[in-house]
Amino acid sequence: MDLFYIVDLAGVFVFAISGALAAREKKLDLFGVFIIAFVTGLGGGTLRDVMMGRTPVFWMQAPIYVGMIFGGTFFAIIFRKKMHYLRKSLLLFDTIGIAFFSIIGTEIALSFSYDLHPIIVISIAAMSACFGGVIRDILCNEIPIIFHKEIYATPCVLGSLFYLGLREVNFFDDYISSFVAIAFIIVFRLFAIKRSLELPKIN
């Protein structure tokens, strides 16, 4: 799980940057920027933990996560004028982040003491990966972007489903399956960005 742990932390770092940049556009002050970075990076997992009853929530027991939020926030503030150079890298890291968050969320749901239905497991995975951004947008007084733009949650949902399928057929070792599913999410999302795919609107 070592690699998982490192990527998980890196994901929180990148999410914090994305939150801090969104907060900056709203002209928030230092405290506001930090809080938006916090909820973007840790909000999805917090919501998951609260709804599942895994309390105190994960970051309360592992302050390194709050450290990553500090790190991401200050990184974003220091390099704020140069962020457009990093736009592509950030998008890539964000994609890697949601891929890992989805599979970590799936794992957490599977290892829960209650026997959860696959549809619940997938919901929990998608919540872990995507709802930090939802809370960020609500605090910034916007309709959450993932509700009307981009393909964002879809790869998470399908990737989590794919992972459950791989485990079921038991073709690979679970550890390898998780990386296959993560790769699937990353490729799917990058392809969707490349082609500017969007989900159908309901008219």
Residues in contact with a second copy by the rule CB under 8 A:
20, 23-24, 26-33, 35-36, 46, 50-53, 55-57, 59-61, 63, 66-67, 77, 80, 112, 114, 116-117, 119-120, 123-124, 134, 138-144, 146-149, 152-154, 198-203
Smallest distance from the beta carbon of 172 to a second copy, in angstroms? 27
Residues 6+ away with beta carbon under 8 Å from 173:
none
Smallest distance from the beta carbon of 51 to a second copy, in angstroms? 5
Is residue 69 within a helix (H) or strand (E), and if so which, with residue range? helix 64-78
141 or 170, CB closer to a second copy? 141
19 or 97, CB closer to a second copy? 19
Smallest distance from the beta carbon of 96 to a second copy, in angstroms? 21
What contacts 24+ positions apart, CB below 8 Å, involve 160-169?
Answer: 160/102, 160/103, 160/105, 160/106, 160/121, 160/122, 160/125, 160/126, 161/118, 161/122, 163/103, 163/106, 164/106, 164/118, 164/121, 164/122
Smallest distance from the beta carbon of 60 to a second copy, in angstroms? 5
Token digits of residue 179: 């990386």
Token digits of residue 199: 């989900």
6 or 119, CB closer to a second copy? 119
Smallest distance from the beta carbon of 38 to a second copy, in angstroms? 8
2 or 25, CB closer to a second copy? 25
Query: At 144, phi and psi to the nearest 5?
Result: -50, 130
3 or 60, CB closer to a second copy? 60
